[in-house]
Amino acid sequence: MAAFSPSVIGAGSELTPDEWFDLVVTPLEAQSVVMSMPGVNSFQTDHPTHIPRMTEPTVDSTVWAAPNAAVAEFEGGTSELVLMARSVKALKIMARISNESMRSSEALPASQQTLVNLIRKQVDAAILGGNATAGISGLIPSAGTTVRHSRFVADAVLNSSTTVTSATAAFTSADVGSFVTGAGIPAGATIASVTNATTVVISAAATATGSGVTITITTNYAIYDRLVDALTASQDAYADPKFWIINAQTIGVLRKLKDSQGHPLLSPDTTIQGAEQILGRTVIPATSSAMPHGTAMLVDPRTIYVAIDLTGYMRILLETYAANDQTGLLVVSRFDAGVTIPAGLVVIQGLGPN
């Protein structure tokens, strides 16, 4: 850790590009939920990077042509993924450490580990869920398919009848048979029919009248079926999914699920120590700060591109906090991520026990 040792009194000391890469970027890539996946395209850049994208054209049987016959023409849509645009803001962290701690041989290694962990949490949250302030769109909002196992609304209206309304529920015919739970709704009630996007008829009359009631709408499919649906959707789009990224608390729910013969849903991945698999794909846990509880994402890592600031840096501030006899550590770097083929990402929301 000698690279952290200050050498210029007054101005502080800045890690060289190689030191920055070795001490911050490398451990960050190894610990990040997204960047640690084999197959993800991770690179460093200090300017906007344009990655071409092409939509596969829709073809028909005219692609089969006889000798000397005209060749059918089909055109695919073209676009580009722009990473590290000028609008992407930098992540900036300034940590203060007492000079008593700085004199300890273990202080700076511990500081490095703490800072990398802090950066990892912020970067994973922005890459996965998006961050409008930072200018990062996020992978979950970019997924080609979203499967909803359950959802809740907080504006339901009950009328001591079988009619339930909600201005935000966006009911569809696919909700028929789904379970409905909430205060004033009998246990085991299901949606019997959908009148329109805001009104449904449930199988048993509500026992109360009220507005602003929170209700949960859960499909009558088993969680396992939803995971199968996600894999089917991905493979049907010619993607090659290798990993599940799942909220750590949700993994706890899935560990308790078993098939009809008592076998656990999650099976050990014998190729990776401590890893688990679902449907033959390795499960990667994500903290609640990076991915909401109840959310899972099936990932084809080849479609993900992550850009890391080539000119990121860490600076040791020797005199900024001298009045408190402290040394400052300033970390500045930009990050961005995107997907070239949205079909390579399938998101499941609302996972929970059923």
Q: Which residues form the domain of 279? A: 14-46+84-148+221-354
Q: Cα–Cα distance between 93 and 117 in angstroms, integer?
A: 12
- Residue-wise pLDDT tens digits, 310-340: 999 988 888 888 899 988 889 999 999 999 9
Q: Report the CATH number at residue 31.
A: 3.30.2320.10
Domain presence at residue 3: no
178 and 302: one domain?
Answer: no
175 and 185: one domain?
Answer: yes
159 and 212: one domain?
Answer: yes
Q: Report the CATH number at residue 185.
A: 2.40.30
- Residue-wise pLDDT tens digits, 275-310: 889 998 999 999 988 999 999 999 999 999 999 999
Give me the mean pLDDT over the 230-253 stretch: 91
Domain presence at residue 328: yes
- Does 45 score more than 60 pLDDT? yes
108 and 183: one domain?
Answer: no
In 3D space, the residue among 213, 196, 199, 195 whose CA is nearest the CA of residue 157 turns out to be 213
In 3D space, the residue among 350, 338, 334 whose CA is nearest the CA of residue 47 turns out to be 334
Determine the Cα angle at 100 with ends 94 and 106, to 5°.
80
Domain presence at residue 279: yes
Query: Of all residues in the chain, what percent are helix, strand and coil, respectively (each to 5)?
Result: 25, 35, 40
Give me the mean pLDDT over the 16-33 stretch: 89
124 and 230: one domain?
Answer: yes
Q: Cα–Cα distance between 234 and 348 in angstroms, integer?
A: 12
| pTM across the whole model | 0.80
Count of domains in the chain? 2
Q: Cα–Cα distance between 194 and 163 in angstroms, integer?
A: 10
Q: Which of 218, 244, 268 is the last residue of a domain?
A: 218
- Does 1 score more than 80 pLDDT? no
322 and 351: one domain?
Answer: yes
Q: Cα–Cα distance between 237 and 341 in angstroms, integer?
A: 10
- Does 98 score more than 50 pLDDT? yes
Q: Which of 168, 194, 218 is the last residue of a domain?
A: 218
Q: What is the pLDDT of residue 322?
A: 86
Domain presence at residue 59: no
Amino acid in position 61? S
- Does 267 score more than 70 pLDDT? yes
Domain presence at residue 193: yes
323 and 194: one domain?
Answer: no
- Does 2 score more than 60 pLDDT? no
- Residue-wise pLDDT tens digits, 148-207: 888 888 999 999 999 999 999 999 988 899 889 999 999 889 999 999 999 999 999 999
Mean pLDDT of the chain: 87
Matching residue, tokens 């460093």:
44
Q: What are the two backbone dihedrals, phi and then psi, of residue 29, each rounded to the nearest 5 degrees? A: -65, -35
- Does 103 score more than 80 pLDDT? no
Domain presence at residue 6: no
* 51 CB-contact burial (10 Å; exposed 0-12 / middle 13-18 / buried 19+): middle
- Does 107 score more than 90 pLDDT? no
Q: Give the contacts of 163 (CB within 8 A, at least 6 positions apart).
A: 195, 199, 200, 201, 202
Residue 3's pLDDT band (cuts 50, 70, 90): very low
Domain presence at residue 281: yes
211 and 233: one domain?
Answer: no
329 and 211: one domain?
Answer: no
Residue 100's pLDDT band (cuts 50, 70, 90): confident
What are the DSSP calls for 282-325, one per residue? EEEEE-TTTS-TT-EEEE-GGGEEEEEETT-EEEEESSTTGGGT
184 and 272: one domain?
Answer: no
Q: Which of 166, 191, 218 is the last residue of a domain?
A: 218
310 and 334: one domain?
Answer: yes
* 172 CB-contact burial (10 Å; exposed 0-12 / middle 13-18 / buried 19+): exposed
185 and 279: one domain?
Answer: no
Domain presence at residue 5: no
- CB 67: neighbour CB atoms within 10 A? 4
